[in-house]
Homo-oligomer: A and B are copies of this chain.
C-alpha cells in the first residue's frame, strides 16, 4: 500500500507542529490523598515536520498516548513526549492536556464534605535534551470589591472569580498545595456544600477581606515568588463582576532567576 505521507515534498516549508487535537480520553494522574485519580482529558499532541516530508503519521500519536494513559504524572508526561519524538523521528514533540482535578473539601464551620473540580492543564515540549513543562491550575474563588465596600453605607458587591496560575517546572509540586495557596489569597474560597453557619462565616470573612483582581494577583504572586522554585510563572485573576455583564481581570508574570523583575 502506498505511503503518501512519506513521499518527498519540494515546497521547502517546514511545519512547526503537525498532530491530533481534541482527543477525549480517560486518564490517571497523581493524587496526594488517594495516590491515583481517574479523570478524563482533552489532549493535543504534535511534532514538527521537516520540510522534505509530505505528511506525518497521525495514528502514532494516539497509539503512544493510549499506552501512557494510566500514568500521566508530570514526569511521565514528558517521557511520553520523548517517545513521540523518537517514534516519529521528529526533533520536537509537543503536548497539551486539559482535565478536571477533583478534591474533597470540607465546609469551614459545619465540616460537611463536598467535591470541588479544578481545571488543570499540562503543556510540554521536548526537543533533544531540552524539556519545557508548564502546569496551570484554575481555582474558583469569591472576591468582595474594596471600592464598593469603602464608598457604600451598607453591603459591598462581590462575585465568583477564577484564578489561574501557570507554572514552569521546576521541581515537582502537588496541585493540592497550589490550590490551597490560591484559595488563601482571595476574599474567601468557594465550596460545594455550605450550611447556614458556613454561609455566615464566609460572608463575614469575605467582607472583612475585600480584594480587587489586582490584589488577588499580587497576593498569589508573592506566595509563589517566595517558594523560589519556578523559573517562570504567571498569575491571572478574572472576576465575573456582579454589577456588569463582563469580567474584570488582572495578570502578572514572574519567575525565579528570571530578568522579568528588571521591569520594576
Contacts and interface: CB of A to CB of B under 8 A. Distances in A.
A180 interface: no
Nearest to A107: B59
A150 interface: yes
A12 interface: yes
A56 B237 CA distance: 14
A2 B150 contact: yes
A248 interface: yes
A54 B212 contact: yes
Number of copies: 4
Interface stretch (A62-70, A75-83, A129-137, A167-175): A62-70
B18 A243 contact: no
Contacts of A15: 214, 217-218, 250-252
A166 to B, nearest CB: 13
Contacts of A66: 113-115, 192-193
Interface string A1-29: 11111000101111111111111111000
Given A11-B222, A157-B202, A203-B156, A46 B246 contact: no
Interface string A142-166: 1011111111111111111000000
A35 interface: no
Nearest to A63: B193
A116 B69 CA distance: 13
A177 interface: no
Closest A-B pairs by Cβ, 4 of them? A155-B207, A24-B117, A152-B203, A21-B247
